[in-house]
Structure 1
Amino acid sequence: MINPSTAILFAQYKRWADQMLFTSLSELPSEELTKERPGPLKNFIGILNHVYVIDRIWQANILQHAHGHKSRMEILHPTLADLRRAQEDMNEWFVCWAKQQTDDSLARALDFHFLSGQAGVMTVGTMFLHVANHATFHRGWITQLYFEIPAPPPVTDLCVYLTEISCAATLPT
């Protein structure tokens, strides 16, 4: 079971990791962002839009709203700058949302439907864990693509984030 502290940690970690990733991607030659590569999502922009769409779908499931998406592969933001702004807004929403959660709210089971129409039930906390885990999976996929360029990928590991925030907390003010 996820608790509020863990939800906050993972929301803040996801925000940080996505910032690291988008900053690194903005430093690549622009043609690398849309260069077609093997796989179902074809390029960096496709992968990042997929992550954003999934975030929107699960946000809607958590809020018990219709999300309106028909595909996980939609390209809502074809440019890195627009996509970055949208993802930053989404990540900020999840951070604020996490700070409002309680043990009870995270344990609440909700009905939802996958895009296939199949019904499902998950707790709010596990829905959010899926959001965080899904983004981590795709950051790993993107890291692999960096080696094909070749370019050094950003380091977005949880342990790096935890070390950075721990060191920042101990700095004199």
Structure 2
Amino acid sequence: MINVATAVMLSQYKGWADQLFFDSLRELPVQELSRERAGPIKTMIGVLNHIYVIDRIWQAHLQHRDHGFTSRQALPYPDLAELCQAQREVDDWYVAWSSQQSESSLKEVLDFVFVSGNPGSMPAGSMLLHVVNHATYHRGWLVQMYFEIPAMPPLTDLSVYLTECQTWPAGNC
């Protein structure tokens, strides 16, 4: 189980890494975002939207409400600038939410329903861990897509964040 300080740090890290990717993606030729590649999610903009949709789904679970998504592959924001703004908003929400938690609220087990319709139960802190881990996993897919361009992806390792940025948003981070 995670504590409040770790929850805050992980949510700040996620926001930093997400924005670092968006900043880098703005430098690529625009057609690279929608160019189809191998894999279950074929485009960079598709992967970014998937991360965003999952963030919103788990946000809804944490808020004890319906999320309204019928697919994890939804593409609510085909435009990079609009998606960047929406992602920033949800990342800011996770930072604020984490800051408002207590040790006991992070341990609270919440019931929810997966998009598939299957029921689930999970502690709130574990939900946050899933959100952070899920985004990290899919940023790895984006890294592979960068190499196919070829282009150099941003470095978003947790160790880079911890040694260079300590808090997000701040300075150049």
Bucket of the pairwise TM-score, normalised by the shorter protein: over 0.9
Aligned residue number for residue 32 of structure 2? 32
The Cα of 1:19 is off from its aligned counterpart by 1.1
Residues 86-105 of structure 1: CA deviation (Å, up to 9, x unaligned): 00000000001110010000
Q: Which runs of 4+ in 1 moved over 4 A?
A: none
Alpha-carbon distance between aligned partners in 1 of 2:23 and 2:119, rounded to the nearest angstrom: 37
Alpha-carbon distance between aligned partners in 2 of 1:18 and 1:49, rounded to the nearest angstrom: 12
Secondary structure of residue in 2 paired with 1:111 = strand
Alpha-carbon distance between aligned partners in 2 of 1:128 and 1:155, rounded to the nearest angstrom: 22
Alpha-carbon distance between aligned partners in 2 of 1:60 and 1:165, rounded to the nearest angstrom: 29
Secondary structure of residue in 2 paired with 1:135 = helix
Tell whether 2:83 aligns with 1:92.
Answer: no
Aligned residue number for residue 9 of structure 2? 9
Secondary structure of residue in 2 paired with 1:64 = coil
Q: Please give the residue correspondences for 1:1-173 in structure 2 after superposition, counting only pairs within 5 Å.
A: 1-165=1-165
Secondary structure of residue in 1 paired with 2:131 = helix
Larger Rg over CA atoms: 1
Unaligned runs of 5+ in 1: 167-173
Compute the TM-score of the two structures, normalised by the length of structure 2. Answer: 0.95
Aligned residue number for residue 171 of structure 2? none
> Which one has the bigger helix percentage?
1
Q: Which letter does structure 2 place at the counterpart of 1:33?
A: L
The Cα of 1:40 is off from its aligned counterpart by 1.7
Residues 8-58 of structure 1: CA deviation (Å, up to 9, x unaligned): 000000011011100000100000000011112110000000000000000
Q: Which letter does structure 1 place at the counterpart of 2:143?
A: T
Alpha-carbon distance between aligned partners in 1 of 2:20 and 2:115, rounded to the nearest angstrom: 30
Residues 66-97 of structure 1: CA deviation (Å, up to 9, x unaligned): 00100000000001000000000000000011
Q: Which letter does structure 2 place at the counterpart of 1:34?
A: S
RMSD: 0.7
Alpha-carbon distance between aligned partners in 2 of 1:79 and 1:102, rounded to the nearest angstrom: 37
Using the aligned pairs only, state the percent identity. 57
Alpha-carbon distance between aligned partners in 2 of 1:114 and 1:45, rounded to the nearest angstrom: 23
Unaligned runs of 5+ in 2: 167-173
The Cα of 1:165 is off from its aligned counterpart by 2.6
Compute the TM-score of the two structures, normalised by the length of structure 1. Answer: 0.95
